[in-house]
Amino acid sequence: MSSVVVVTGASAGVGRATAIRFGRDGARVALLARGEAGLAGAARDVEAAGGRALAIVTDVADAEQVEAAAERVERELGPIEIWINCAMATIFSPVVDITATEFRRATEVTYLGTVHGTLSALKRMRPRNRGCIVQVGSALSYRAIPLQAPYCAAKFAIRGFTDALRVELMHDHKGIHLTMVQLSAFNTPQFLWGRTHLSKRPQPVPPIFAPHVAADGIHFAAHARRREVWIGFPALKVILGNRLVPWLLDRMLVRQGYSGQMTDEPVRADRPDNLFEPAGGDFGVDGPFGERSKRRSYQLWATMHRTALWLSATVIVVALAALVWAL
């Protein structure tokens, strides 16, 4: 029987690309998000890919809505096997220009939305002693950047929450796999609708990847027994760089952290804003930076095939050692 997968933030961007990727497996995919038009489009995409879709209008900031959605998924699709927390909200702005209400809303969606989804998943997975929960994080959960303090702080919180829960599951000898993926910059519609107080149109920090690259990594993480999966060489570079030379990254962000997140175009007066209400319409998977987006990640390929790479490297080293010995 096909898997039952729940994806939050499934109406657009990485969440929608992930739902489509599981649809290609023939999975039964529950799509949770606020926007009805986006959910309807995502459901069509999943079914066109070969899966079965169940779209449920849900604000993940509301724990009762998430729990009601989980109940409906199990009632209509069957036992949940994979739960992917991908919903997020952000504000592009210096900290001093962000209100307390805006901070609270971004935190409720991005961090508490992940907590709510995880709790609903655990409620069903613990009695069965199986299942997988994937937290969609970011390199920014290790290294915060200017102009996105609410988002970065929420991703840091998700990583702390996930690390604590992982040890609890290990202590209780539960067969539930908990993993976190750390993303690089992706071309998603959030740059069209995320609230901004900037004068110029926001953009992901280059290099930029297409959302289906993240979806491949999330799909891999849901089936591999990895603690974390880093997606894209920039994520690897940022995470390791912050561990080794955080002071250098501070200085680099002073020089590039502002200009790297803004285009030269002014923000339009009629720009949609989805912080408190869903942006109207169906925005699809990709954002407005398709021509600049990379369609593959060699780093992710190496991550997914690391066992074969290590075996190949071992064979080569042994062969070279034998050749040297013979000579």
Counting DSSP H helices and E strands in the chain, the numbers are: 12, 14
Q: Is the dihedral of CA 235, 236, 240, 246 positive or negative?
A: negative
Token output for 82: 């994979």
151 catalytic? Reply is yes
Helices (DSSP H) in the chain: which residue ranges? Answer: 13-23, 36-49, 63-76, 100-107, 113-128, 149-171, 190-193, 211-223, 233-244, 246-256, 298-304, 306-326
Tokens 């001093």 sit on residue: 96
Q: Catalytic one among 111, 151, 258, 298?
A: 151
Beta bridge mates, 202: 262
The Cα–Cα gap between 55 and 71 comes to 13
Token output for 42: 């995502």
Residues 6+ apart with CB under 8 A from 22: 3, 5, 7, 29, 46, 51, 82, 219
**Cα angle at 113 between 31 and 135, to 5 degrees?**
75
Token output for 243: 């561990």
Residues 6+ apart with CB under 8 A from 253: 145, 146
Write out the catalytic residue numbers: 151
